[in-house]
């Protein structure tokens, strides 16, 4: 079986498993102990951990891959005079595909209405500090690098 077929099969299996978990958790016949086991053990346990590992591995893979491909592509041009028109076409293509992706995402979100019917009760206490300070560079950088393997090296201050 080709890689494309395996990826599509895994996507369909994930959609079916997620839908099955949703239907089972919404079932009135399911006992509270089973509901808690499925929700805490499977959904918030296994699925959450595997999903976070997958996203972290994508972050580690995609950014260096794109950087290396850009460097290799620009170095293979040879003549630097050819770089101007290619850069303009590349930026135009990037902006066009980004606009298409955002449009499709917004249309799907409007059609699907994710979160409709979910009743979230949030209670919190809001404490305003007496004197607000501007965030430091490290306090902004640390949350962005938490999923990377070296956040302690970056956020050691």
Residues 9-48: tens digit of each pLDDT: 999 999 999 888 888 888 878 788 888 888 888 888 888 8
* Residues 11, 52 within the same domain: yes
In a domain, 60, yes or no: yes
Q: Please give the Cα distance from 54 to 153 (Å, whole number).
A: 22
Domain final position from 20, 48, 76: 76
* Overall number of domains in the chain: 2
According to the model, what pLDDT value does residue 147 have?
A: 65
Residues 62 and 103 in one domain: no
Are 69 and 19 in a shared domain? yes
Q: The domain containing residue 94 runs over which residues?
A: 79-115
Per-residue pLDDT reduced to its tens digit, 105-119 = 999 999 998 888 777
Q: How many residues are recorded in the chain? A: 157
The pLDDT assigned to 30 comes to: 78
Distance CA 108, CA 105 (A): 5
């Amino acid at each position: 079986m080709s890689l494309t077929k395996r990826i599509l099969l895994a996507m369909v299996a994930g959609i079916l498993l997620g839908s099955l978990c949703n239907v089972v958790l919404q079932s009135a016949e399911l006992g509270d102990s089973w509901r808690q086991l499925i929700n805490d053990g499977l959904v918030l346990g296994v699925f959450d951990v595997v999903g976070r590992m997958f996203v972290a591995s994508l972050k580690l893979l995609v950014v260096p891959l794109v950087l290396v491909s850009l460097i290799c592509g620009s170095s293979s041009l040879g003549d630097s005079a050819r770089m101007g028109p290619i850069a303009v076409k590349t930026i135009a293509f990037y902006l066009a595909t980004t606009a298409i992706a955002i449009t499709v995402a917004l249309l799907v979100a409007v059609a699907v209405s994710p979160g409709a019917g979910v009743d979230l009760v949030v209670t919190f206490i809001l404490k305003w500090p007496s004197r607000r300070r501007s965030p430091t560079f490290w306090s902004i950088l640390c949350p962005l690098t938490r999923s990377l393997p070296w956040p302690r090296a970056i956020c050691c201050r």
